Amino acid sequence: MIRPHDSLIVQSLGRFLIPVTQIFGLYVLFFGQYGPGGGFVGGVILGTSMIFSVLAFGHDASRSRLAKKVLHGDGVGMLIYAGVGGLCMIGGGEFLNFADFEIPGLETAARRSLGIVLTQIGVAVDVAVTAVSIVFSLSAEEIIEESTNG
């Protein structure tokens, strides 16, 4: 269990900084097609904001079992990525060849652009959740202590 930080400065700064960081992370994620950035960096920024919120406000990981659910979310990112690859195979396309999307009314380049956005979301979810999941794993010793003490 990660206890909330007892400093008022950290908590007030967290209330201000966490939403700003998350919006910046989303901006980096979706602006990755037009400038520096992309799924990996956006995911790391999103994950860092979540780590900050966990460290500043604490999380009762042992009781709410969010840590285990977060670990399942790790697979969701992979599933989005591989699922987008699998969608390309419907109708006889190649795996992860976004030009084979069976979406009427879109030209080939727009389909590939759409595929890039979707896979970037998958990478971002995977990276963000993995970062938070590692932080929960690193504080697992205290979870055990908590449960053995009652």
Partner 1 sequence: MATGILMTFSFEIPLLLLLLVTAVGAVLVQDLISAILLLGSYSFFLALVWAWLGAVDVAFVEAVVGAGLATVLFLLTLFGTAPRVSRLRLPPPPMAALVSLPLLGLLLLYAANDLPQFGDPQSPPSTHISPTYLEQSYQDTHTPNVVTSILMDYRSLDTMIETVVIFTAGIACALLLRRHSS
**Which residues contact partner 1 by CB under 8 A?**
28, 32-41, 44-45, 47-48, 51, 62, 67, 71, 74-75, 77-78, 81-82, 85, 95-96, 98, 108-110, 112-113, 115-116, 119-120, 122-123, 126-127, 129-131, 133-141, 143-144, 147
Distances (CA, A) of 36 to 39, 117, 125: 11, 14, 19
Query: For residues 41 and 45, what is the distance between their CA atoms, to the nearest angstrom?
Result: 6
Whole-number minimum distance, CB 128 to partner 1, in Å?
10
Whole-number minimum distance, CB 33 to partner 1, in Å?
5
Residue 22 or 119 having the CB closest to partner 1: 119
Whole-number minimum distance, CB 8 to partner 1, in Å?
21
Distances (CA, A) of 143 to 31, 54, 136, 137, 138: 39, 14, 9, 9, 10
Query: For residues 78 and 122, what is the distance between their CA atoms, to the nearest angstrom?
Result: 6
Whole-number minimum distance, CB 70 to partner 1, in Å?
9
Contact call for residues 56 and 14 (beta carbons, < 8 A): yes
